[in-house]
Structure 1
């Protein structure tokens, strides 16, 4: 078995380690405090299930995308937040407990919402008669990858708080390296699709990604949410699970062209999210310190 064959397993292990590292920085108290922010959860779900599909529909119609690319982009819009959203939020001062909770909630909700949105797009644009069924198995896989390592990390942190504190910086560095590796691997894997199709669908993909990130952050701030919560929502709805949308396009609908928007998105999202983090979230200060201080203050009594 060569390195290429081992790569998916190695990436999964690396991702599990990253989620374990996030768990080390969290406690049950962080999740209990989320009960004080039902508005944030409602806003995130509303943006994910209603605003983003509507914005995506406007983009594909406004830019005149071909029907098959329109469905592919709508399929991406219907996909829940990806695991990378938690990593970006961790690096740029978001409320990571909110991110993890939203990833789980959005992913479970997508069992119903993803087929509804995808089938609407198929009927609206290509009338192929194909149907996207409920993706219970793939959705539960995502939840398992997120929740199990985080729960283990939280359990270790509860028993060994000193170890958890000492490992926070190394795991944050490791998270950044994993994101960089994901980006480089995505570029290498999707390079041919990226170069062949970017001129026709790249602008729509980039615009949708930017709209997702900016709407998540600024609409949340306009609704009165603090910066860590707004950051969490921004990355949650701005970093979609392109792996899930690729799986549906290639394995369920058996159409390579439907997968191209997700393939391009899997590359550009790392660039746009990083630029968004530095240009918007880091402007005027370093939010990670404030967010971490707040989390530490709230977590101290629980330990």
Structure 2
């Protein structure tokens, strides 16, 4: 797992640098312009998804280490991939950027809280390490410092930030794939059992997360473009962050298997959701004509 341990901090830093290159202070203030959409999406992210994941874990009867791994994934904020999917399928990208920025900050509190509560519930015998807030501060630094650097670059060298946005995204995607491959190779002897254990639950969790992300805002009368943005923000978690926490801070490679499995499946479910939303938009336009 040495390769993954080396690549993970680098991957996370690159991904968050890419986010920072697309952010300005106005993105954090934009919550005032989209209060309903922002509050509904954050409520889904912080409350609904962990509750949903907990129910699925109980339903599937996962062993403690995989159960905690699923809850760690559910507590992770949306990833920067959501911005790309939102752009491709007609979402409000500005809202995506705002939600990603706020979620990444809130995760400083919510991720350790959900993870430790899960460890206390599923592994109360002390077989799993707890996530120390002091240790999590190291990951926080890997999240916030690159974002701050990216924002500074954008503020003082906007043209350079625009040129670097695409290479940084490509690099982060490649490194993420290498990390997932390293995790899967390390656990290859047990891979069949893991996929049998978490493949279906990860698929269901991904699909239902995308559905909640879209329909919860629509039920709250949020306009369609913002609901699409919420769909991808809620449905595409930062798998790199959850893998990093599992393998480095909690020193448990098995706990990262749900995130690694999800990190592959989410591209298929998100793409399917995008085409379904596009098809629905086309039908609505035809009916309105």
TM over 0.5: yes
Residue number in structure 2 paired with 1:149: 150
- Contact 1:49/1:113 (8 A) holds in 2: yes
1:234 partnered with 2:250: no
Aligned to 1:133: 132
Matches within 5 A, 1:77-156: 77-129=74-126, 130-134=129-133, 135-146=136-147, 148-149=149-150, 152-153=153-154
> Which structure 1 segments of 5+ residues have no match?
287-303
In structure 1, how many angstroms separate the alpha carbons of the residues matched to 2:168 and 2:274?
15
Q: Contact 2:93–2:229 (CA<8 Å) still a contact in 1?
A: yes
Separation in structure 2 between the aligned mates of residue 47 and residue 179 of structure 1, nearest angstrom: 26
Corresponding residue number in structure 2 for 1:300 = none
Separation in 1 of the partners of 2:10 and 2:76?
Answer: 24
TM-score of the two chains, using structure 1 as the length reference: 0.74
The 1:210/1:238 distance shift into structure 2, 3 A limit, reads same
Residue 55 of structure 1 corresponds to: 52
Q: Structure 1 residues 283 and 156 mapped into 2: Cα distance closer, same or farther (>3 Å)?
A: farther
Give the TM-score taking structure 2 as reference length: 0.77
Q: 1:88 deviation in Å?
A: 2.2
**Mapped contact 1:83–1:146 kept (Cα < 8 A):** no
Give aligned pairs, total: 273
**Which of 64, 68, 71 pairs up with 1:67?**
64
Where 1:70 maps in the other structure, the secondary structure is: helix
How far does the alpha carbon of each residue in 1:186-228 deviate from its partner, in whole angstroms, 9 at most, with x for none?
A: 6644444474321111101111111111101111111111122
Unaligned runs of 5+ in 2: 284-289
Deviation at 1:275, TM superposition (A): 1.9
Distance in 1, Cα, partners of 2:91 & 2:148: 18
| Distance in 1 (alpha carbons) for counterparts of 2:179 and 2:112 | 26
Inter-partner Cα distance in structure 2 for 1:285 and 1:150: 37
Judging changes above 3 Å, is the alpha-carbon distance between structure 1 residues 33 and 115 closer, same or farther for their aligned structure 2 residues? closer
Q: CA RMSD in A?
A: 3.6
Select between 75-84 and 275-284 the one with higher mean Cα deviation: 275-284
